[in-house]
Amino acid sequence: MAKSDHKIAKVALLRIERWPEKDREQWLASLSASDPFADVADRSHLRPISNAKVEKGYGRWLSFLARSRPELFVEEAGTRITPETVSAYVAELRACGNGDQTVMNRLQELHTMATTIVPAGAFGFIRKIEAKLRTVAKPVRSKRDKIIPSDELFSLGCSLMQSATALSTPRLQALQFRDGLIIAFLALRPLRRKNLTELTLGQSLMCEQGSWFLLLSADETKSHQRFERAWPDELLTALETYLSVHRPVLMAQTGRWASPVGDRLWVSSEGSPQTQMSIYQQIRLRTKAAFGQGVNPHRFRDSAATTLAIEDPAQVRVSARILGHRSFQTTERYYQHAEQNQAHRAFVAGLQKLRIKR
């Protein structure tokens, strides 16, 4: 191995400027979509955070190859990504202490990149490995550690939405997509359960010139302060998909407890407005399946404050505004809790942007 290769082997995440040239060119072409005849998938319409997540994931994969199979760097991307090398990648991730959910996230990122830069490749085996891992997934955290980092909650929500299309009926697809959207949304905008449940189109969720906004009056918030936030950019496409595809499916259900939905955002499996208890139960069900412990909606608020305190203590006071607290004193206990935990990966894009503005 050359001297420069030794430097690569020590890097946990290989940045794009050090990727194999063709991989880099194919990926950049997919982001720009300047050539409609390029042999790559078009990702120019997707949000930057989604593409950045895939790019970082592929950087981790390439770093693994640099350490274990550096000779593969001269091969085509499709030749490198084989059942053998992917299985070895999973083994290393687990040996380094990564939990099952994290390993599944890495596999999702690798599969997305593979099908982007080599659209004609056969990479279904990655999904099969992921599916097998999901069936035996176990939590790695102590049962007493109730805080799941916000980026993992966000990733779970995105994973549920992405995999919804594989389900057998439109109703099941709609239910899983709805739950995934709620989880991902709460990871970025941790509303209280009552406010989340009562989100209403044209009232507390408004669309103006293609942009969506959350508007809660002082009477609707626990702090008695008006709440105004933009719907997360990262979930705009997901919201539009839910409204145009999945919400109509749920509204058409005629279960025993069906009742007029009106303009309420969240619709139950019975074709009625979803209740606080229904949202609570579904979130706990989905999170327990992923992490081995149910995360109730209020815990998303704990996760947001604690994750920010871990990742950037200098900005911890920002979480008071994110959570809608009247003062910092309510938020301070999360900072104290964060000092006792191991540092997690960087918080999701909403909090990353706050750090950039420092």
**Per-residue confidence (pLDDT) for residue 35, from 0 to 100:** 59
- Surface-to-core class of residue 18, CB atoms within 10 Å of its CB (0-12 exposed, 13-18 middle, 19+ buried): middle
User: Same structural domain for residues 219 and 86?
Assistant: no
d(CA 281, CA 220): 23
Residue 119 inside a domain? The answer is: yes
User: Same structural domain for residues 330 and 219?
Assistant: yes
User: Same structural domain for residues 307 and 273?
Assistant: yes
Report the 10 Å Cβ neighbour count for 343: 10
Q: Does the pLDDT at position 103 exceed 60? A: yes
Q: Which of 114, 136, 158 is the last residue of a domain?
A: 136
**274-329 pLDDT, tens per residue?**
999 999 999 999 999 999 889 998 888 887 766 554 444 444 444 444 454 444 34
User: Same structural domain for residues 81 and 160?
Assistant: no
d(CA 228, CA 136): 42
Q: Which of 112, 136, 160 is the last residue of a domain?
A: 136
Q: Which residue has the higher pLDDT, 205 or 40?
A: 205
Residue 141 inside a domain? The answer is: no
Residue 86 inside a domain? The answer is: yes
Query: Among 30-44, 84-98, 162-176, whose mean pLDDT is lowest?
Result: 30-44
Residue 74 inside a domain? The answer is: yes
Please tell me whether the overall predicted TM-score, pTM, comes out greater than 0.75 for this model: no
pLDDT band for position 342 (cuts 50, 70, 90): very low
The enclosing domain of 9 has a CATH number of 1.10.150
| Count of the separate structural domains present in the chain | 2
User: Same structural domain for residues 23 and 57?
Assistant: yes
The enclosing domain of 233 has a CATH number of 1.10.443.10
User: Same structural domain for residues 239 and 348?
Assistant: yes
**133-155 pLDDT, tens per residue?**
888 876 544 444 567 888 889 99
User: Same structural domain for residues 113 and 158?
Assistant: no
Residue 110 inside a domain? The answer is: yes
User: Same structural domain for residues 96 and 186?
Assistant: no
d(CA 64, CA 61): 5
User: Same structural domain for residues 249 and 351?
Assistant: yes
Going along 52-198, which residue ranges are E strands? none
Per the structure, the complete domain to which residue 28 belongs is given by 3-136
Q: Which of 77, 109, 136 is the last residue of a domain?
A: 136
**Burial readout 21-53 (b: 16 or more C-beta within 10 A, e: otherwise):** eebeebbebbbeeeeeeeebbbbeeebebebeb
User: Same structural domain for residues 132 and 155?
Assistant: no
Q: What is the CA radius of gyration of the chain?
A: 21
User: Same structural domain for residues 207 and 131?
Assistant: no
Q: 186, 196 in Cβ contact below 8 A?
A: yes
**Per-residue confidence (pLDDT) for residue 146, from 0 to 100:** 64
The mean of the pLDDT values for the chain is 81
Percent of the chain with pLDDT over 70: 77
Residue 76 inside a domain? The answer is: yes
Residue 145 inside a domain? The answer is: no
User: Same structural domain for residues 327 and 187?
Assistant: yes
Residue 144 inside a domain? The answer is: no
